[in-house]
Copies of this chain bind each other. A is one copy, B any other.
């Protein structure tokens, strides 16, 4: 009986900072760890990245890598201030990755972009409290296109995703009205936009 294929877990860890989406790389590649016999996938992931520094994680997909090992990839999201082993690179300006790593990175970004529209997943990229302008920067970085602060606020407040929090942020040197502070109402993933079509009858 031949050995079965070896199995690894890969983490695609993203954060939004400096108005850009960044990926965590360790030694010029996505962090990974082999799957030990009888260990869970989460345990293997924990060996690759510090799970405590991730505000959210979810499984992405399992693929056969170029070198013949099977890899289960996870999407991890980190807040701008968390620290993880490795370095952060802007997703639009990465060092050369292997084709399979590139594919996983793109899958992670696509998943994040989709979920920003119909879940509260923004909570995992934003700091604890923030102004709407700051949140807008996070969304712009992650989505890669412009977002109106006005409409972002209205959509998220209407859905109950954002909550006002006491206090205001003082304006900078150039003046301007002090900004209200908000936080995400939930700190775990929730679907906030039940699909409009084909809803169950009332």
A27 at interface, CB cutoff 8 A: no
> Taking the nearest CB of chain B, how far is it from the CB of A22, in angstroms?
20
A201 at interface, CB cutoff 8 A: yes
Cα distance, A62 to B59, chains bound together (Å): 8
> In chain A, residues 110-136, which have Cβ atoms closer than 8 Å to a Cβ of chain B?
114, 116-118
Cα distance, A102 to B102, chains bound together (Å): 33
Contact B198 A152 (CB under 8 A): yes
Contact A193 B200 (CB under 8 A): no
Cα distance, A39 to B70, chains bound together (Å): 10
A155 at interface, CB cutoff 8 A: yes
A181 at interface, CB cutoff 8 A: no
Cα distance, A75 to B123, chains bound together (Å): 30
> In chain A, residues 1-56, which have Cβ atoms closer than 8 Å to a Cβ of chain B?
2-7, 34-41
A64 at interface, CB cutoff 8 A: yes
> Taking the nearest CB of chain B, how far is it from the CB of A200, in angstroms?
4
Contact A4 B62 (CB under 8 A): no
CB contact under 8 A between A117 and B5, given known A59-B62, A63-B41: no
A172 at interface, CB cutoff 8 A: no
Q: Which of A3, A118, A195 has the most CB of B within 10 A?
A: A195
> Taking the nearest CB of chain B, how far is it from the CB of A56, in angstroms?
16
> In chain A, residues 162-202, which have Cβ atoms closer than 8 Å to a Cβ of chain B?
193, 195-198, 200-201
